[in-house]
């Protein structure tokens, strides 16, 4: 049987300096390689923002892709673009020039935010989605939006999230995990992992935490992630300082293995996003047997349904505080959440989901 030759295009991919930048794309690439696929990657691996940085890194990416088109464009069986715009535009070149099968994965922000930036980007997003041979949405709500608002037929749409790497995000003894991260055994630790941006609901989380602290003096809050907006980070730090919340700790992005240890050390993982395509990081916490509180948005409303986690109202510090307290004060409820969270982790195991991606790569699969 002929080995599939695949090109993956992405505007997010890790580097030695930015280990978690688009790590979910790299995880899928590694899983595809393990499944026997021959994979090339052409991607942006620089997370730095600002107009000059963006122009520089996207220009370099465009040139790299152009060189690949000339040297290897004809050799691929499938081109898989992660994020609809702008990545899908590059994938279209391979389809139009060489007739290559084009797969696009929509991750959420490309539909909820990027496509709304201008009528031109909206039109290009629509064109990319409609000309793709198959579109993968990482969540149910995203799938519905792409079908209803962008006119993509359900026949060429699949819901396949990026899946959780259960080799990395595995349960470990909480006491041992706390020793590794040098955390006190008696504090009630609340954890957030993600980009430090306003849309992740971090202002509301700090406000909710202040309410939790009144009820539970032993509570602590750790925010781990990359600073995408220095002005927002400064605002966040000023709010924390003004409220005298000395046990709110902001940490830079860590490796996946380190994050898994922190998740195991936590009493509770919280994801208070305003929008969320799927919420993979919440699934990773569930895979570590850590209970999750998340907002009723996007993919989270499905991921945390049926007591796999606790759903709270978005942009609502009072609802968020209630959800957090409900978990931290109820041990039997926590056991119930962990049990249901494990079922979700099993269902969304990366190794199982990669088989569905392989089916999409085949012309018979799309």
What token pair was written down for 12? 């997010």
- Rounded to whole angstroms, the Cα distance separating 202 from 191 reads 11
Which pLDDT value is given to residue 149?
Answer: 96
In the predicted model, residues of the chain with pLDDT beneath 50 are 1, 365-366
Same fold, 5-163+349-365 and 174-347: yes
The residues facing 223 across adjacent strands are: 192, 250
Token representation of residue 153: 């037929």
pLDDT, tens only, 77-127: 999 999 999 999 999 999 999 999 999 999 998 998 899 999 999 999 999
Residue 289: closest CA among 168, 161, 189, 170 = 170
- CATH architecture group of domain 174-347: 3-Layer(aba) Sandwich (3.40)
* pLDDT at res. 50: 81
Q: Which two tokens stand for residue 91?
A: 């994938």
Q: Residue 193 in contact with residue 269, Cβ under 8 Å? A: yes
Q: Can you give the pLDDT at residue 53? A: 87
Q: In the prediction, which pLDDT does 366 show? A: 45
Residue 48 confidence (pLDDT) = 82
114 secondary structure, DSSP code:
G
Cα distance between residue 159 and residue 149, in whole Å = 16
CB 41 within 8 A of CB 6: no
Both ends of the chain: CA-CA distance in Å? 20
Cβ of 237: how many Cβ atoms within 10 Å? Answer: 12
Computed over every residue of the chain, the mean pLDDT equals: 94
Q: In the numeric block, which tokens belong to residue 155?
A: 């026949």
Look at residue 76 in the predicted model and tell me its pLDDT. Answer: 97
Chain centroid, CA 334 distance in Å: 24
Q: What is the pLDDT at residue 171?
A: 98
Q: Which fold has domain 5-163+349-365?
A: Rossmann fold (3.40.50)
pLDDT tens, position by position, 213-265: 999 999 999 999 988 889 999 999 999 999 999 999 999 989 999 999 999 99
What does DSSP say about strands 5-10 and 78-82: parallel, antiparallel, or unpaired? parallel
Residue 225: which residues within 8 A CB-CB, separation 6 or more?
Answer: 192, 193, 194, 195, 196, 200, 251, 252, 253
Domain ranges of the chain: 5-163+349-365, 174-347
């Amino acid at each position: 049987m002929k080995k599939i030759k695949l090109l993956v295009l992405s505007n997010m991919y890790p580097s030695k300096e930015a280990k978690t930048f688009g790590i979910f794309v790299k995880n899928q690439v590694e899983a595809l390689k393990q499944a026997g696929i021959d994979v090339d990657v052409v991607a942006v691996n620089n997370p730095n923002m600002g107009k000059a940085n963006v122009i520089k890194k996207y220009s370099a990416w465009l040139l790299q892709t152009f060189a690949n088109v000339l040297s290897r464009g004809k050799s691929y069986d499938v081109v898989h673009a992660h994020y609809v715009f702008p990545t899908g535009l590059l994938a279209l070149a391979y389809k139009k020039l060489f007739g290559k099968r084009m797969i696009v994965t929509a991750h959420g922000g490309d539909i909820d935010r990027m496509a709304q930036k201008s009528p031109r980007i909206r039109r290009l997003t629509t064109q990319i989605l409609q000309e793709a041979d198959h579109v993968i949405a990482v969540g149910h709500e995203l799938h519905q939006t792409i079908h209803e608002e962008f006119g993509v037929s359900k026949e060429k749409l699949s819901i396949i999230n990026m899946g959780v790497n259960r080799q990395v995000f595995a349960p470990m003894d909480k006491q041992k995990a706390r020793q590794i991260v040098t955390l006190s055994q008696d504090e009630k630790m609340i954890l957030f992992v993600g980009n430090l941006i306003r849309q992740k609901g971090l202002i509301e989380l700090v406000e909710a935490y202040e309410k939790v602290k009144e009820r539970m003096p032993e509570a602590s809050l750790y925010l781990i992630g990359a600073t995408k907006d220095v002005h927002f980070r400064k605002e966040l730090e000023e709010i924390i300082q003004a409220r005298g919340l000395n046990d709110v700790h902001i940490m830079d992005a860590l490796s996946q293995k380190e994050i898994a240890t922190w998740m195991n050390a936590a009493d509770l993982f919280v994801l208070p996003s305003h929008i969320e395509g799927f919420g993979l990081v919440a699934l990773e916490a569930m895979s570590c047997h850590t209970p999750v509180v998340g907002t009723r948005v996007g993919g989270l409303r499905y991921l945390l349904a049926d007591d796999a986690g606790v759903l709270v109202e978005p942009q609502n510090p009072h609802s968020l505080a209630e959800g957090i307290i409900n978990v931290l004060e109820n041990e039997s409820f926590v056991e119930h959440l962990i049990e249901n969270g494990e079922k979700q982790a099993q269902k969304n195991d990366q190794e199982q989901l990669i088989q569905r991606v392989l089916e999409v790569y085949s012309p018979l699969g799309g």
